[in-house]
Amino acid sequence: MIGIVVVSHSARLAEGVKELADGMTQVEIPIAAAGGVDDPENPLGTDGIRVLEAIHEVMSDEGVLIFADLGSAKLSADMAIDLLEPEEQEKVKFCDAPLVEGVLAAAVQIASGGKLADVMREAQEAGAVTAPEAEMADTDAAAAKDDSDAKAEEFVIRNRHGLHARPASLLVQTMNGFDGDIRLENLTKGKKPVNAKSINGIMLSAVTGNDRVRLTASPQEADAVFAAMRRLVEDNFGEDDEMPAEAPAPSKPAPSKAQAASSPGTSEAPEATDTLTGITIAPGFALGPLHHVRQEMPKIEVAAIDDLDAEIARFDKALQDAEAEIEAAMQAMGEGLSDYDRQIFSAHITYLHDPEITGGVRERIRSEKLGAASIWQETMSDLADTYSGLEDKLLQGRAADIVDVGQRVLRFLIGDEAASALPDEPAILAFHELRPSDVLRLADTSVLGICSAVGGETSHAGILASNLSIPVVFSLGEGLNAVKDGQKVLLDGGKARLDLGPDPDDIARMERDRAAFEALRAEAEAAKDLAAETKDGHLVRAAANMAALEELTAVADSGAEEIGLMRTEFLFMDRDAAPDEDEQTEIYKRIIAGLKGKPLTVRTMDIGGDKPVAYMDRPAEENPNLGWRGLRYSLDETALFDTQLAAILRASAEGPVRIMFPMVSTLEELRAAKDRLEAVRDRLGKAGQPFDDKLEIGIMIEVPAAAEMADRLAPEVDFFSIGTNDLTQYMMAADRANPKVQKLSDPLQPAVLRMVARTIAAAHEAGIWIGMCGAMAGNRLAAPILLGLGLDEFSMKPVDIGTFKLTVRRLAKPACEDLAAEVLKLDGAEAVRKRVAAFLDDIETD
């Protein structure tokens, strides 16, 4: 694999770029950071020998690309290349591209299997952001050809932040698994079509949540390409946040009565109101006086300086003091600051060491003979304006970080410690724009709530503030600045409202809502660590689904009693070759260790036409959901199957593990799979490899044929797990990815419920337990039905477990049995939904 060397004057910057690149791909890219010099007094600089060592660290037959931040860094890179052997020099190229954008673009292309020349070209194009439309036009012209036979399909991107860096990277890697030309067009924003295999093209298309895009591909590959795209869209590109089905228009601050009265004569004047409306950052309620926190710094007057060395020393001291203050604040927060939060402030420290920023200030002090304060303020203001002017909302949010760093250093330069004093009494704090450093010092104060005139949920301050357990509302508008200090206000975080004149009825209603909200939140949090047990003592198991190694921490913290479904496709996708037995074994062992004795159910690979794997020789399929996938594929590719089975068995020596086969349709398939497993057991036994010879074997019930044959399949296994996502679409003949038939693809359809009921009955009659790992398992409306039908295990998203347990603990098994018998006789899904909703309302009322 092609290697990357990051050369920077700052060791922190080099490591930061490497960290960003590592997070962009699902494939581990060989990247070495060669930053700074070994001089504690003057750590900024580059070292040719360090670069040489980094080259050797990532050297491969496919080559190495070197990226650098400043011109002098290229000299160190050139020196390192000169020290290489002639045959090595041919494989090493210096890439003249922007450091961050170039490395990220290169990493994605390398992960997709790109050649050195292609990777280098993509990295160099990463800097061409000044005229994106022109670049797209050039790209289109170069690739122009008769595409009259090409097929197209449209998709709506549902993940909240659209195709930002990581989702764009995932899309590019997936599309690079196909041979032909694939184009993506952002229809919502009217962007021109771009190469879907280019991360630069995807990023410049500015696809955000709820944007409609068109994908175009050759007829030969179109069906497989579109199926792969549907899979990505359905999985939200691996992200949790999803936009509502129709994005609401951005809310604008409502004018007060006084403001409305001062603007007569408009034919469509908004209704007068004494509330301001913004966006929710954190739910909750607060009532109290409003206190404006002054954030602006005085305008710094330009001052001539005689002693330039002393002024530069003063500037460097301010940088050091700012870093020390950040470090002290993080240390004071202790475990209250997550690893992600710490990365935010580590980024702030990186700005303090950025040679382009600080070096530019020092150079201007010397050349212009002016004071550091005015130069620093101008530099950071210009940089913040640059970020604010970008189209990408995530990058716009970084402007607040620039301002935050700038104000912190400026405070030390001018000695203004009163700039952001907090009140002594409990209050709702009002900011023009909340900054990360503001959040850092609010954790141990008696703040009732936070609101701001501007700001977005993707900003670092928004992410940090959402963890304070108080209501937070951003983007209330400039009307917030007109509210008097000390005025009594009511802040509703869930509705994103600030009531400027609450009356007694408003306050009484707020107190009722707050009591209910806090009670529900506390109950759900407490319930996640309790047993999933009904009021009359019936126990079920609450399990978590898992699809990536990175989800292990969330699973461990969720209250899950086991992993009911571990999807293993992530082991095989987005790489150049299948993982061998040892690699798979180590990954399974890591997960087992993280579960600390809780069972792990490993589903063998469900590789199909809708999950493209570049190194697998698979034909395009007209309907991959009904094609060569799951156990069907594994039984034909026995070497691949045996390797996975051996790895699971070897890992089972470390803790409780189950094996589950997907897409079983016939008894013959199941017996063939068991024969493969037995052969692998024999091989491992003869080799002296330890494993659990009593581990449970189960199958997924996701094909109607398996459900109909459940009474014959059950005696062959230790458990069933119902996969309702596929079972529903097959049962109702309704593609779950097709919005035109979404009403049919509903697990609450009585036909689906009846099939689930028969499968549960067949399992229990054979004396085996049965679970469910489809989305239905975490559906609050489905819980009482499934309890009534006798389901033993519910496996769902980790975030749903607390609410699920809370629901179960309010139910009684006999009442659920009566409900289940009743809904099986209803006419349709909507009738089922209404009946269950009424059932749950009655329980909560009681």
Which positions are catalytic?
460, 773
Q: Sheet containing 92-94: give its strands across.
A: 31-35, 3-8, 64-68, 92-94
Distance of CA 801 to the CA centre of its chain: 19
The residues, ordered by sequence, that sit 6+ positions from 781 with a Cβ below 8 Å of its Cβ are 748, 833, 836, 837, 840
Three-state DSSP class for 742? coil
Q: Sheet containing 497-499: give its strands across.
A: 275-277, 497-499, 488-492, 285-292, 427-431, 447-452, 472-474, 279-282
Question: What type of residue sits at position 175?
Answer: M
- 653/684 Cα distance (integer angstroms): 12
Q: Which helix (H) or strand (E) holds 434?
A: none
Q: Which helix (H) or strand (E) holds 303?
A: none
Strand bridging mode 497-499 / 562-567: unpaired
- 168/122 Cα distance (integer angstroms): 14
Q: In this structure, how many other beta carbons lie within 10 angstroms of the beta carbon of residue 50?
A: 23
Cβ distance 396 to 456 under 8 Å?
yes
As beta bridge partners, residue 92 has 64
Burial class of residue 422 in the structure, from the number of CB atoms within 10 Å of its CB (0-12 exposed, 13-18 middle, 19+ buried): middle
DSSP string, 754-811: HHHHHHHHHHHHTT-EEEE-SGGGG-TTTHHHHHHHT--EEEE-GGGHHHHHHHHTT-
Residue whose structure tokens are 């990277």: 169
The residues, ordered by sequence, that sit 6+ positions from 77 with a Cβ below 8 Å of its Cβ are 5, 7, 48, 51, 66, 68, 94
Dig out the tokens for 207 from the structure: 């696809």
Q: Where are the alpha helices (DSSP H) in 83-164?
A: 86-89, 99-111, 116-125, 132-143
- 385/767 Cα distance (integer angstroms): 68
Q: How far apart are the first and last CA of the chain?
A: 63
The residues, ordered by sequence, that sit 6+ positions from 830 with a Cβ below 8 Å of its Cβ are none
Three-state DSSP class for 576? coil
